[in-house]
Amino acid sequence: MSVKPTRLNQNNEIIYVTKPALPPLEEFVPYLEKIWNSKILTNNGSFHKQLEDDLADYLGVSCISLFCNGTIALLTALQALDIQGEVITTPYSFVATAHCLIWNKIKPVFVDIEPECCNLDPEKIEAAITSRTTAVLPVHVYGNPCDVEAIQAIADKHGLKVIYDAAHAFGVKKNGISMMNHGDLSVLSFHATKAFTTFEGGAIVSRDRKTKERIDKLKNFGFAGETSVVECGINGKMNEIQAAFGVLYLKYIESYVKKRKAIVFQYRDALKNIDGIRLMNDIEGVVHNYGYFPVFVDEEKYGISRDALYEKLKRHNIYGRRYFYPLISQFSAYRDSAMFGPGTLPVAEKTAEQVVCLPVYPDLGEAIVDVICHLFDRSAN
Ligand SMILES: Cc1ncc(COP(=O)(O)O)c(C=O)c1O
C-alpha cells in the first residue's frame, strides 16, 4: 500500500461515518424571512410546492409527494397500495424497512441478498411467494440499483406490487433513467445522514396523478376537502422550514456529490490491492450518489476480523458503521420467527459479518482519508 500519511489522527478529531454538509447559513436566512412574513408554516405552503416541482425536475420523475420522514413515507406507501398479508423484503437494510410492514400488520418474509451489490436476490424471490404474498419491498442498498427488470418480471408473473425503499438512492440513474421510475412506488429518505437532506424528511415517488392524490390525502389525515375525510390517514406532512431547506440544498447537491465522489475514488485507489478487503466499484451506466463506502473484510485472507478493524479505527477516532449488522432478522424484535434463524439467509449473514462503512461526506479532508487508509495496513496500530 503506497499511502504514507504524515501522522495519524493525533488532534483527536472524531470522524463519524457521515457529517451533513450545510449551505452557508446566510443563504438560508432569506428563506426563513419569507416563511416568517407569510406565517405559512406547513400544510402545502409555497416552499413545499416548489420543492416538489424542483425534485420532480431534478430526479426526472413525474409525481412526488413530500413527507416528514422516510419511515412515515414507507408506512403510507404500503397503505396507498392496500398491501396486506405477506411482503418479500431484504434482511440487509435499516430496520425501518421491515418495521413499516409490521406497523401495517403485514408479515415480512426475508429473502437472501446477492453478494455483489447486497440487494435482494431476484433468483430467490419466487421460492418465498405464497398465496398471501401481495408485494415485494426491495432496497437499493448503498444506492446500488436492484435488478429492477428481474424483480418486475417476477412481480408481473405473480400479480405483485413493487415498492422500492430508495432511501439510499437519491439521484441515482441507470442508463439515463431515474431509479425512482421503477416499480409501483419508490420511497426516499431525506434524513440528515443521506446524500440529500431536509434535516428529517422523505418522499414517495408515484407514477400517475391519481396515485399521488391518494398519497397526498393519506399524509394529511385523509382530508379530501374542508369537511370531508375519505380515509383514515396520518400526519405525514413536511413543514415549510424543511421544504425551504430542501430547495436551497438542491442547489448544492451536484457539488456535494462531486466531493463525495473524489473521496470514494481516493479510498478505492488506496485500498484496491489489499488481500481480503473487497470494495464496491462504480457500475457501468449508473450515476451514483456516493452516499456510502462499504468495505468487506475477509478475515481469513486479511488476517484481521471486521470487528477488530472496526475497533482499531475507533481507537483512532474513526467511527465507521457496520451497515447492516445485525441483519433485521437477527434483532430480538424479529428473531421469534424460526423461519429466518441462523443459516437461512447465508449470503446476508456473511455480508453482515464482513461489512464496515467508512466515513464519506463532502467536507471530509483528503488527509483524513489518507489516515483511514493507512490504518488498513496490518502493521499500523
Ligand atoms: C434503507 C432505509 N430505509 C428507511 C429509512 C428510514 O428513513 P427515515 O430515517 O427518513 O425515517 C432509512 C434511514 O434512515 C434507510 O436507510
CA angle centred on 66, ends 61 and 71, rounded to 5°: 110
Which amino acid would we find at residue 53? D
H-run or E-run covering 133: strand 133-137
Distance 197 CA to ligand 1 centre (A): 12
Q: Which residue, chain included where needed, has cell 421510475? A: 181
- Burial of residue 378 (number of CB atoms within 10 Å: 0-12, 13-18, 19+): middle
* Nearest-angstrom CA–CA distance, 218 and 145: 28
Domains of the chain: 15-19+253-374 (3.90.1150.10), 25-248 (3.40.640.10)
Q: What is the pLDDT of residue 86?
A: 97
Average pLDDT over residues 96-117: 97
* Nearest-angstrom CA–CA distance, 371 and 357: 15
Distance 100 CA to ligand 1 centre (A): 11
* Nearest-angstrom CA–CA distance, 329 and 245: 36
Higher pLDDT: 221 or 340? It is 221
Q: What is the pLDDT of residue 7?
A: 54
| Residue 69 Cβ contacting ligand 1 at under 6 Å | yes
Q: What is the pLDDT of residue 379?
A: 85
Q: What is the pLDDT of residue 282?
A: 98
For ligand 1, pick from 17, 66, 67, 71 the residue to mutate: most ligand atoms within 8 Å of CB. 71
- Shortest-distance Cα residue to atom 7 of ligand 1: 70
Distance 330 CA to ligand 1 centre (A): 18
| pLDDT tier, 2 (very low <50, low <70, confident <90, very high otherwise) | very low
Q: What is the pLDDT of residue 12?
A: 76
Q: Which residue, chain included where needed, has cell 475477509? A: 298
Distance 324 CA to ligand 1 centre (A): 12
Question: Can you tell me whether residue 165 is helix, strand or coil?
Answer: strand
pLDDT by residue (tens digit) across 155-189? 999 999 999 999 999 999 999 999 999 999 999 99
| Residue 165 Cβ contacting ligand 1 at under 6 Å | yes
For the chain, the first-to-last Cα distance in angstroms comes to 15
* Nearest-angstrom CA–CA distance, 57 and 315: 44
For ligand 1, pick from 187, 191, 234 the residue to mutate: most ligand atoms within 8 Å of CB. 191
* Nearest-angstrom CA–CA distance, 155 and 132: 14
Query: According to the 3-state scheme, what is the secondary structure of 256-316?
Result: HHHHHHHHHHHHHHHHCCCCCEEECCCCCCEECCCCCEEEEECHHHHCCCHHHHHHHHHHC
Distance 69 CA to ligand 1 centre (A): 8
Q: What is the pLDDT of residue 5?
A: 52
Within 8 A by CB and 6+ apart from 253, the residues are: 58, 171, 195, 196
Q: Which is the closest atom of ligand 1 to the Cα of 193? A: 14
Is the Cβ–Cβ distance between 95 and 237 less than 8 Å?
A: no
Question: Can you tell me whether residue 178 is helix, strand or coil?
Answer: strand
* Nearest-angstrom CA–CA distance, 82 and 16: 39
H-run or E-run covering 157: helix 148-158
pLDDT by residue (tens digit) across 296-338? 999 999 999 999 999 999 999 999 999 999 999 999 888 766 6
Q: What is the pLDDT of residue 210?
A: 97
| Residue 93 Cβ contacting ligand 1 at under 6 Å | yes
Within 8 A by CB and 6+ apart from 269, the residues are: none
Got the DSSP string for 21-34? ----HHHHHHHHHH
pLDDT by residue (tens digit) across 181-217? 999 999 999 999 999 999 999 999 999 999 999 999 9
Q: What is the pLDDT of residue 36?
A: 98
Distance 140 CA to ligand 1 centre (A): 12
| Residue 97 Cβ contacting ligand 1 at under 6 Å | yes
Within 8 A by CB and 6+ apart from 17, the residues are: 193, 319, 320, 321, 357, 358, 359, 360
Q: What is the pLDDT of residue 3?
A: 47
Q: Tell me what percent of the residues of the chain surpass a pLDDT of 70.
A: 97
* Nearest-angstrom CA–CA distance, 211 and 219: 12
Q: What is the pLDDT of residue 334?
A: 87
H-run or E-run covering 64: strand 63-67
DSSP-based helix, strand, coil % in the chain, nearest 5: 40, 15, 40
Average predicted confidence (pLDDT) for the chain: 95
Which amino acid would we find at residue 78? L
| Residue 189 Cβ contacting ligand 1 at under 6 Å | yes
Distance 378 CA to ligand 1 centre (A): 34
- Burial of residue 146 (number of CB atoms within 10 Å: 0-12, 13-18, 19+): buried
Average pLDDT over residues 236-258: 98
Sign of CA dihedral 325, 329, 330, 331: positive
Q: What is the pLDDT of residue 337?
A: 64
